[in-house]
Amino acid sequence: MIGSVVIVGGGTAGWMTATYLKAAFGERIGVTLVESEQVSRIGVGEATFSTLRHFFDYLGLDEADWLPKCAGGYKLGIRFENWSKPGEHFYHPFERLRTVDGFTMADWWLELGDRSMPFDRQCFITTALCDNKRSPRMMDGSLFAAGLDGSLGKSTLEEQRAQFPYAYHFDADAVAQYLAKYGTDRGVRHIVDNVENVGQDERGWITHVDTKSHGKIEGDLFIDCTGFRGMLINQTMGGEFDSFSDVLPNNRAVALRVPREEATEMNPYTTATAMSAGWMWTIPLFRRNGNGYVYSDQFITPEEAEQELRDAVAPGRDDLQANHIRMRIGRNKQSWVKNCVAIGLSSAFVEPLESTGIFFIQHAVEQLVKHFPDERWDPRLMRDYNDRVGHVVDGVKEFLVLHYKSAQREDTPYWKEAKIREMPAGLAERLELSGSHLLDDETIYPRYHGFENYSWNAMNLGLGNIPPRARPAIKHLDPANARREFANLKAEGEAMVAALPSCYEYLASIND
């Protein structure tokens, strides 16, 4: 019987893991979380995936309670600025493409669409809500997308049938604190101390961790949530790390927390703006923005990156403290080794583009519960876990490389190099195919990785990698139904913009 779990690390990964295990197993498993006061959390990780709702519902938490306590906001998608031409923008929304007579609206757009207008504004309705800074909820709290509201209960990513229309922005430290209270209220033993040493038996299995002031902490299963240092999985177990720097060169970030003094407006989306040697995130929280420049230090120094970021988002605010971060991009070949499982940055990180870090944590904790071991430590459970966790990361890697390959921008050495850099073999095949027709479920990355075909097509078309013509079959079809659907999309978008409050107005009402 595996009765006790020891988690080292109290960042988003540590607390999401502790609370999820408690929600799943209750008193049947003892959970201890040790976190150091001397090693700070990464302090970023404020934009999420639409799937995160399953996590909060699993814990039985109500959005109206936790979101205001975590300075939260809504994210209907990501707005990409200047990735192809200066001044141009498009959205990657959380919205599936509708289908008419067997072809998606993006296929129909290639034949019937107005090429003077961006594809995303014609094929999705969420883009109208983004352009007009609308909340996805009415003032009475009801959701604009009918049939998708209400708690999902203890459901997991595998059960996600519909595309939920939004994700969250939140203050990462506030979320860790909120979850810490939830966890300790439900019996998580919380120890604030530094782990100085990790004890192993003769087979290399972890027996305990030694802390500075609380002595030895023993357990059956040890979870490494120590961030990029991978104290247990890499430093102790010697787990091999597979770097992605051959295909994704960004290795640093510099972040700034910028107060919004005139906080009467708020964007309901993350913005990803292309910069001279990388890109910048803007994440609107209730009273401030999180900003950060993700870059490769082959092309720009940390000082230059900080200056470019300050000039863009906080001119004259030299009082704001910049947080410089080195990123370890890649994944452990195996995130579960013997009785040690790495979750969070200690396991894998691709890069902040598309906000997948917290999604990886959510996926990993769900899979850990599904593959939870007993005293036999069945290697097939561990193998299957490692396979799934590996594929989620590898699929995201391919999808993110596509962003750089399909972007039309080539005005600086960084963007020129992006075009000639290596890419994963599977992606090369997919891009070759997408020159002829749009990708579908059979031609995107074939294993679960959190992105569906609409995302791959939204990015390709938005970035300007557009097949020259529609599938030949479309010419033989009656276009009447598709034309009607384009008109419906436009009318529904306009009606929603008229009916919904602004994002700020709604959030202000739940922050009262």
Ligand X SMILES: Cc1cc2nc3c(=O)[nH]c(=O)nc-3n(C[C@H](O)[C@H](O)[C@H](O)COP(=O)(O)OP(=O)(O)OC[C@H]3O[C@@H](n4cnc5c(N)ncnc54)[C@H](O)[C@@H]3O)c2cc1C
Q: Which is nearer to ligand X, 12 or 156 (CB)?
A: 12
Residues 359-398 touching ligand X, rule: CB under 6 A, are: 361
Chain residues 241-260 in contact with ligand X, contact rule CB under 6 A? 253
Q: Which of 106-114, 156-164, 222-230, 443-451 is the region at the interface with ligand X (rule: CB under 6 A)?
A: 222-230
- The angle formed by the CA atoms of residues 262, 81 and 253, to the nearest 5 degrees, is 80
For residue 257, list its beta bridge partners.
290
Query: Which residues fall within 8 angstroms of residue 441, CB to CB, at 6 or more apart?
Result: 452, 453
Contact status: 357 vs ligand X (CB under 6 A):
yes
Report the largest interatomic distance among the alpha carbons of the chain, rounded to a whole angstrom.
Answer: 75
Please, which of residues 309-328 interact with ligand X by CB under 6 A?
A: 325, 327
Tell which one of 227, 330, 373, 493 touches ligand X (CB under 6 A). Answer: 227
Q: Rounded to an integer, what distance in angstroms lies between the CA atom of residue 280 and that of residue 46?
A: 14
Residue range at the interface with ligand X (CB under 6 A); choices 11-19, 180-188, 380-388, 454-462: 11-19
Q: Is 309 annotated as a binding residue?
A: no
Say whether 345 counts as a known binding-site residue. yes
Binding mask 174-203 for ligand X (x = CB under 6 A): --------------------xx--------
Torsion, CA 381, CA 219, CA 157, CA 283, rounded to 10: -140
- Of 72, 73, 284, 292, the residue at the interface with ligand X (CB under 6 A) is 292
d(CA 344, CA 88) in angstroms, rounded, equals 34
Would you say 254 and 280 are in contact if contact means Cβ atoms under 8 Å apart?
A: no
Unique residue bearing structure tokens 């990180």 = 349
Placement of tokens 């691709």 in the chain? 350
Binding of residue 275 to ligand X (CB under 6 A)? no
- What's the closest the beta carbon of residue 201 comes to ligand X, in angstroms? 21
Q: Indicate whether 352 belongs to the interface with ligand X (CB under 6 A).
A: yes
Query: Beta-strand (E) ranges in 88-181?
Result: 89-93, 99-100, 103-104, 167-169
Q: Among 116-124, 125-133, 223-231, 435-443, which window interacts with ligand X (CB under 6 A)?
A: 223-231
The piece of 7-15, 85-93, 388-396, 424-432 that touches ligand X (CB under 6 A) is 7-15
φ/ψ (deg, to 5) at 217: -120, 115
By the rule CB under 6 A, 42 interacts with ligand X:
yes
Report the alpha-carbon distance of residue 394 to residue 449 in Å, rounded: 8
Instruction: Please choose, out of 9-17, 378-386, 437-445, 460-468, the segment that lies near ligand X by the rule CB under 6 A.
Output: 9-17
Residue 45 binds to ligand X (criterion: CB under 6 A): yes
Q: Does 14 interact with ligand X (rule: CB under 6 A)?
A: yes
Q: Which residues contact 148 (CB under 8 A, 6 or more apart)?
A: 162, 164, 165
Distance spanning both ends of the chain, measured CA to CA: 47
* Residue 396, marked binder: no
Which entry of 75, 133, 338, 397 is annotated as an active-site residue?
Answer: 75
- CA dist 33 and 43 (Å) reads 19
- With CB under 6 A as the contact rule, the residue among 5, 13, 24, 129 that binds ligand X is 13
* Cβ density class 164-187: b for 16+ within 10 Å, e for less: bbbbbbbbbbbbbebbbebbeeee
# of chain residues touching ligand X (CB under 6 A): 38
- Tokens describing residue 478: 């009656």
262 annotated as belonging to a binding site for a ligand: no
Active site residue 154: no
| Residue numbering of the annotated binding site for FAD | 10-13, 195, 345, 358
Task: Give binding residues for 7-chloro-L-tryptophan as ranges.
Answer: 75
Binding residues are 10-13, 75, 195, 345, 354, 358
Q: Output the known binding site for L-tryptophan.
A: 354
Give the binding site for ligand X (CB under 6 A). 8-14, 34-36, 39, 41-42, 44-48, 172, 194-195, 225-227, 231, 253, 292, 325, 327, 344-346, 352, 355-358, 361
Catalytic positions, please? 75
